[in-house]
Amino acid sequence: MVFSPTRGMVLAAGLGTRMRPLTNDRPKALIEVAGRTLLDHAIDRFVAVGVKMVVVNVHYKGEMIIAHLKSRRDVEIRIQDERDLLLDTGGALKRALPQFGNEPVFTYNSDSIWLESLGSNLGRMAAMWDDAAMDCLMLMAPTFSSIGLEGKGDFTMDANGRLKRREAQRVAPFAWPGVQIIHPRLIARGPDGAFSTNRLWDMAISQERLFGIRLDGKWMHIGTPEAKAEADAFMAARHRAP
């Protein structure tokens, strides 16, 4: 029987600074693309693969996210309120540890959406998970065919899916689109307080337990108004296509 996480977390506590002026009156997670909020796009993906409980952390205009999520009845939502202290990505995961139990969980950055190609990317991730070999399995998007991506990529990936960091001054073939399966045992190794998930990944890399799987489809990083406009245009063109 294929394992698939039943718990997940959407990281929605960002300040949305680079999305201004669109985030002047709302958090970035409530920006809409293709008629649906980024937050709902993420939760929809979780529900489609059988996730039953989703933790959502909030900070900037968190009350708007809390109110918005009251309308969802298809999954249990648990709010992690970080309005008093922004914990960064790793710190947010560590605070949520009591919600996760002892099994791997999905995590999803709310500024990430994609169009599927042949099947569910989250389903493919679950099918690839190997608890004996992995502490973290990351979805990987091609650096040069993604929308809204800035920079030189993040990782290289070998034939077995094992990941290594991009070397300085080099361009890497893959970028991380904000989605992973991560085991609580790795999260628990992080420090207390605010810290980035980069620290967890480096721990996993040092033990050769960080893996990736290539995204099948088109990734869109909704990090700026310009990226949102490009994603809207791409989605509209796909909708018009015969």
**Least confident window among 30-34, 44-48, 232-236:** 232-236
At residue 46, φ and ψ (nearest 5 deg) are: -60, -50
Question: pLDDT tens digit string along 36-78?
Answer: 999 999 999 999 999 999 999 999 999 999 999 999 999 999 9
* Tens of pLDDT, residues 77-91: 999 999 999 999 999
Does residue 215 contact residue 124 with C-beta atoms inside 8 Å?
no
What tokens were used for 162? Answer: 């094992």
Q: Which of 144, 202, 209, 146 is nearest to 177 (CA)?
A: 146
pLDDT surpasses 70 at 239: no
Tell me which H or E stretch contains 214.
strand 210-214
- d(CA 118, CA 140) in angstroms, rounded, equals 16
**179-203 per-position pLDDT tens digit:** 999 999 999 999 999 999 999 999 9
Query: Are the CB atoms for 189 and 204 separated by under 8 Å?
Result: no
pLDDT of residue 37: 95
Cross-strand pairs, 163? 157
Q: What angle, 0 to 180 degrees and rounded to 10, lies between the N-to-C axes of helices 38-48 and 62-69? A: 40
The SS3 of residue 77 is strand
Give the C-alpha separation, 125 to 142, whole Å. Answer: 16
pTM: 0.92
Q: Does CATH place domain 7-240 in 2.40.10.10? A: no
Helix ranges (H only) for the chain are 38-48, 62-69, 88-95, 97-100, 121-128, 184-187, 197-206, 225-240
Q: What are phi and psi of 241, to 5 degrees?
A: -65, 140
Q: Is the pLDDT of residue 241 over 60?
A: no
**Spans of all domains in the chain:** 7-240
Distance CA 198, CA 190 (A): 10
pLDDT at 224 over 80: yes
Instruction: Report pLDDT for 2.
Output: 72
Query: So what's the pLDDT on residue 163?
Result: 95
- Mean residue pLDDT of the chain comes to 91
Which of 91-95, 132-136, 234-238 shows the lowest mean pLDDT across its residues? 234-238
Return the percentage of the chain with pLDDT > 70, whole number. Answer: 97
Alpha-carbon separation of residue 218 from 125, 136, 144, 176, 181 (angstroms): 16, 22, 11, 13, 20
Tokens of 203: 């721990």
The secondary structure of residue 193, as a DSSP letter, is S
Report which of residues 232 and 149 the model is more confident about.
Answer: 232
Does the pLDDT at position 144 exceed 60? Answer: yes
Is 227 in contact with 233 (CB distance < 8 Å)?
Answer: no
Q: Which of 173, 163, 158 is nearest to 211 (CA)?
A: 163
Confidence of residue 1 (pLDDT cuts 50, 70, 90): low
